[in-house]
Structure 1
Amino acid sequence: MIRLRERSQCLSGGAGYLHPDVIRLVTIPEELIQLLTEWHTVPVATCGPDGKPNVAGKSVMVMDPETIVWGELYFGQTYENLKRNPRASLCVWKRTFPTTAYKVNGRVVIHENDAIAARLDERVRAGHPTALKARRDNMAAVYFTVEEIYDQTPDIEAAGKRIG
């Protein structure tokens, strides 16, 4: 998979062809980073093989301005859906007036039994020693690369506009 910041240009100056496996990186705005940090757990939507939607709460961390990470603890429906179709969507909103809201779409890479997963597992267990004490399995690290950000603020001017 190739990660680009912008669509490439042809030598003639026209817009270049963007292969479907290319991920155009989108920078997460500071206000959205703040909301994700405050919320900690956000609804993450995936799609099953039959088209059936699935939404589950995931405890997220912003790793860098283009990447959101969560630990997959239970390897349930979200995990199965992402193994088949590595695309997800999450939503977060400001809980006080004036409300702002965002929908974030992207692709995921699941790290299992590697150094990345081990570091996340260690970090999460250190922060929740009692809650995860009984778990024997290591978690997987789900790296969500942001591809699109939409304004979902309940406002006629803003709602549904792509902002990233």
Structure 2
Amino acid sequence: MADTTKKQLTPEMLECMKSMRVFSLATADKKGVPNVVPVGMLFPGEDGNIWIIDNFFCKTLKNLEENPIASFYLWSPEYKAGCWQVKGKVKVYDSGADYEKAVAIAHSRMETAPAKHLVKMCIQCVYNVAPGPDAGKKVL
């Protein structure tokens, strides 16, 4: 990912994101071995990053520490206007004001959520992954 400029999701992408309940979050370890997990707490943060709350990460957290890059896709059967792959660099937090906000959000959604870490993703690129002639093309 050579482009290091922080990107923002388009209104269309954000609308799709709102219709999703579970996201597939992809990471890889330092050797490039992939890992994909379902994540229910992934959303746009107030700071322009994507916020991901770690409730049950195991290999995912280890991968993010070794290789701080992640990806997820936006697609929902309720939202048929597009499908995108989002990639970015991440930082993991276990303290601070934003972490405390993330814990409160997690507990408002699921009272027993462990909310072990806040993972912030700085979006670096977005690709169209909808079937058709534009599949695989970079859109942001």
What does residue 50 of structure 1 align with?
31
- Aligned positions, number: 138
Q: How many Å separate the matches in 1 of 2:79 and 2:107?
A: 35
Letter in 1 for 2:117: A
Letter in 2 for 1:49: K
Q: How many Å separate the matches in 1 of 2:137 and 2:52?
A: 26
Q: How many Å separate the matches in 2 of 1:63 and 1:140?
A: 14
Q: Compared with structure 1, are the counterparts of its residues 51 and 125 closer, same or farther at alpha carbon in structure 2 (3 Å cutoff)?
A: same
Q: How many percent identity over aligned positions?
A: 20
Q: How many Å separate the matches in 2 of 1:114 and 1:43?
A: 26
What does residue 144 of structure 1 align with?
121
Q: How many Å separate the matches in 2 of 1:161 and 1:27?
A: 17
**Secondary structure of 2:8 counterpart:** coil
Does the aligned pair in 2 maintain the 1:111–1:141 contact within 8 Å?
A: yes
Q: How many Å separate the matches in 2 of 1:69 and 1:47?
A: 19
Does the aligned pair in 1 maintain the 2:19–2:76 contact within 8 Å?
A: no
- TM-score, normalised with respect to structure 1: 0.75
What does residue 32 of structure 1 align with?
13
Q: Compared with structure 1, are the counterparts of its residues 39 and 97 closer, same or farther at alpha carbon in structure 2 (3 Å cutoff)?
A: closer
Q: Where in structure 2 are there 5+ consecutive unaligned residues?
A: none
Deviation, 1:40, is 3.2
**Secondary structure of 1:155 counterpart:** coil
Q: How many Å separate the matches in 2 of 1:95 and 1:148?
A: 23
Q: Where in structure 1 are there 5+ consecutive unaligned residues?
A: 1-19
- TM-score, normalised with respect to structure 2: 0.87
Instruction: Give the alignment of 1:99-138 within 5 angstroms.
Output: 100-129=82-111, 132=112, 135=114, 138=115
Say what the alpha-carbon RMSD is for the aligned residues.
2.2
Highest RCO, 1 vs 2 (Cα 8 Å, sep ≥ 6): 2
Deviation, 1:64, is 4.7
What does residue 161 of structure 1 align with?
137
Q: Radius of gyration: which is bigger?
A: 1
Q: How many Å separate the matches in 2 of 1:64 and 1:150?
A: 23
